[in-house]
């Protein structure tokens, strides 16, 4: 299985969350690749079994400008079977807590095989650990079920 985690982080919170997700993902596959969004090879978008997106939220619940090319790539993708997940960090004192996660979620629901979303308050804490583990488990269950259904055809 070939998995990509594509992320951006401004304070380090989303990067810390990505590292935890990567740790759990390595339990399932040795082919898990991590990319800061600026270094993601967009032309390989459809060569992955799953893509997990990590983002912070900017302004009033907006997708950060550096994530817009990835967002648009999914909108223009023809592979609606690509398994995806999206996670992010945010601050609940803002009216649109993790609004960028919601924006990606809504778009990915239409343009991919969205498996899971995860919102983390500020910096990941030890009490969030089980949520990270479950997030990865749900994404990988979707990848495995997709592979089984393809082999049964």
CATH code of residue 56: 3.40.50.360
Banded pLDDT at 147 (limits 50, 70, 90): low
For residue range 24-40, list pLDDT tens digits in order.
999 999 999 999 999 99
For residue range 7-65, list pLDDT tens digits in order.
999 999 999 999 999 999 999 999 999 999 999 999 999 899 999 999 999 888 899 99
DSSP string, 70-116: HHHHHHH-S-TT-EEEEEEEE-TTSTTTTHHHHHHHHHHHHHSEEEE
Q: Which of 33-42, 85-94, 101-110 has the lowest mean pLDDT?
A: 85-94
| Residue range(s) defining the domain that contains residue 125 | 3-152
β-pair type (113-121, 32-36): unpaired
Domain count, the chain: 1
> Which tokens hold the place of 14?
């989303």
Mean per-residue pLDDT, 80-100: 92
């Amino acid at each position: 299985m070939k998995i990509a985690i594509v992320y951006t982080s401004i304070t380090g919170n989303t990067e810390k969350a990505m590292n935890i997700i990567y740790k759990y993902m390595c339990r399932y596959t040795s082919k898990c690749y991590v990319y800061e969004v600026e270094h993601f090879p967009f032309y390989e978008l459809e060569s992955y079994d799953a893509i997990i997106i990590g983002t912070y939220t900017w302004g009033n619940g907006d997708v950060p400008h550096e994530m817009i090319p990835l967002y648009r790539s999914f909108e223009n993708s023809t592979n609606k079977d690509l398994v995806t997940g999206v996670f992010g960090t945010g601050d609940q004192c803002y009216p649109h807590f993790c609004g960028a996660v919601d924006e990606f979620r809504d778009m990915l629901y239409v343009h991919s095989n969205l498996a899971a979303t995860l919102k983390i308050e500020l910096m990941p804490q030890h009490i969030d650990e089980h949520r990270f583990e479950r997030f990865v488990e749900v994404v990988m269950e979707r990848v495995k079920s997709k592979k089984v259904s393809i082999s049964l055809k």
